[in-house]
Amino acid sequence: MSVSEPLIGGLHSPAELLLRDVHVLDPRSRLDARRDLRVRAGEIVELAEPGALAPAQDGGEEELIEGHGRLRLMPAFFDPHVHLRTPGQEHKEDLDSGTRAAAAGGFAAVIAMPNTDPVLDSAPLLRSLRDAAAREARIPVGFLPAITRGLQGEQLTEMAELRQEGALGFSDDGKPVQSAGMLRRALQYQRLCGGVLALHEEDKTLSHGGAMHEGAVSAALGIAGIPTVAESTMLARDAALAGYEGARVHFQHLSCVASVEAVADAKARGWRVSAEVSPHHLLLTEQDVRGMDTRMKMHPPLATEADRLALIEGLRSGTIDCVATDHAPHARDEKEVPFEQAPMGSTGLETAFAALYTGLVLPGIIDLALLVERMTAAAALFELPTASIATGEKANLVLVDLDATWVAGEHGWESRSENCCFAGRKLQGRVLLTLAAGAVAHRDRALSLVGA
């Protein structure tokens, strides 16, 4: 089936750059060494020993950045799960602000969820959103239209037609597909028209009314809880259905031990499943909810330390394939209400790398190459090319100062919303420059200080 190019958008100003003596880390090619690298017309054209490349004689266009052997150059990240809030909720985020936030976090592409207003569930709406992305998005964006019309769980969308229009797959994110029969039909269509079904796993009959993880902290605070089995039983059900139908599914935002075990079991059986985990589930627990800060209220809720450790182990072993931010912007007045009434979700694009570097790499829990692999792996899960640092490749690159420390949010955010669960935390590792699809999509103000 011929489909429209699934990623759309990005700046139309191909970069001309010489990055001299940067420490290149590309986990897939196992390149981990100091190099000079030249980008011309947005493409990596030369990769050489440090000091080997001289500034272009002819080119007044070329920008020179000195890495002093210290700045890291890595493949730019890919986020398979963000909420850009357009159409309909542009007071929270839009294509421009959301992709600015992504570029500031080192991402060269993101996949947007369909729980907008109206819901992205028809080919005409997908077409108009893609037209808008072509004009407004700083980095390429892919879209997952809804599995069911209006996210109502009652009627499938026109999946084949949506695929023709460039849908990367489908998701009812924000809601589960509650009916097994409905999901089964979606899986059968998935097999016919391709793409990935990305599933938000939650049994509403178990989670209904809950505002946080059901456990010791919810009991102490007197807040109604959501048991982890609300996620894990639904995930196990859907894995079995996908296995039965031979369909391809991706499990969104895993949050607990039992879900990691269910994914491991599904993979061991050879079922076509993959999974993602968010930085907040890897770094925070129900203990962080004790202060009833609404930025700590997310879906699925932060669970226990045992759950967090299982997620880290799942990411390390590959049971969990990739990191996804589930960037979920909400306006200040929406979050500044009592905990039970606040909407669920945290922004995450601008802090993902630094939070995980600070929380997992610096203490020696996982290594940097693995983190970069897991922050870039989602592209392949959605059958897209993976960013790679080699000559002939389009420049999808992130330049990072691993020594720089910063306080999250102290200079504001690129995102239109500020409901970040890591706000106020001191983080180490700062994105200085992001190239997406060959163009400079983000440049940190600190770059002029360190890169001269």
Positions touching Zn ion (CB under 5 A) are 173, 200, 326
Q: How far apart are CA 225 and CA 212, in angstroms?
A: 5
SS percent in the chain: helix, strand, coil, step 5: 30, 25, 45
Closest of 7, 62, 14, 133 to residue 439, by C-alpha: 14
Task: List the one residue out of 398, 411, 418 whose CA is nearest residue 79.
Answer: 398
Choose between 173 and 214: whose C-beta lies nearer to Zn ion: 173
C-alpha–C-alpha distance, residues 101 and 71, integer Å: 21
Query: Least distance (Å) from Zn ion to the CB of residue 235?
Result: 12
Please list, in sequence order, all residues whose beta carbon lies within 8 angstroms of the beta carbon of residue 184, skipping any fewer than 6 positions away.
Answer: 241, 244, 245
Q: Which is nearer to Zn ion, 100 or 200 (CB)?
A: 200
Place of tokens 């990596």: 44
Which SS3 state, helix, strand or coil, does residue 160 take? helix
- Closest C-alpha among 450, 441, 448 to residue 100: 441
Is the Cβ of residue 38 or residue 200 nearer to Zn ion in the bound state?
A: 200
Nearer to Zn ion, 15 or 226 (CB): 226
CB 425 within 8 A of CB 288: no
Q: How many helices (H) and strands (E) does the chain have?
A: 15, 18
Min dist. Cβ of residue 253 to Zn ion (A) = 6
Considering beta carbons, is residue 272 or 280 the nearer one to Zn ion?
280
Cβ distance to Zn ion smaller for residue 347 or 396: 347
In the chain the first and final C-alpha atoms are separated, in Å, by 49
What distance in Å separates the CA atoms of residue 132 and residue 452, rounded to the nearest whole number? 36
Distance, CA of 262 to CA of 271 (rounded, Å): 11
Nearer to Zn ion, 36 or 173 (CB): 173
Give CA–CA dist 176/157, Å, rounded.
15
**How does strand 169-171 pair with strand 273-277?**
unpaired
Does 265 participate in catalysis according to the annotation? no
Q: Give least dist CB 368 to Zn ion, A.
A: 27
CB of 20 to Zn ion, least distance (A): 40
Minimum CB separation from Zn ion for residue 280, in Å? Answer: 12
Question: With respect to Zn ion, which residue has the nearer C-beta, 110 or 247?
Answer: 110
Q: Which of 128, 101, 96 is nearest to 10 (CA)?
A: 96
Residue (163 or 200) nearer to Zn ion, CB: 200
Residue 264 phi/psi, 5-degree rounding, is -60, -45
Tell me which residue has tokens 């296995």: 243
Q: How far is the CB of 55 from Zn ion (least distance, A)?
A: 45
Smallest distance from Zn ion to CB 336, Å: 21
Report the distance separating Cα 409 and Cα 350, nearest Å: 9
Q: How far is CA 137 from the centre of its chain?
A: 16
Min dist. Cβ of residue 146 to Zn ion (A) = 13
b/e string for 220-245 if b means 16 or more Cβ within 10 A?
ebebebbbbbbbbbbbbbbbbbbbeb
Given 121, 326, 401, 444, the catalytic residue: 326
Report the nearest approach of Zn ion to the CB of residue 172 (Å).
9
List the catalytic residues: 326
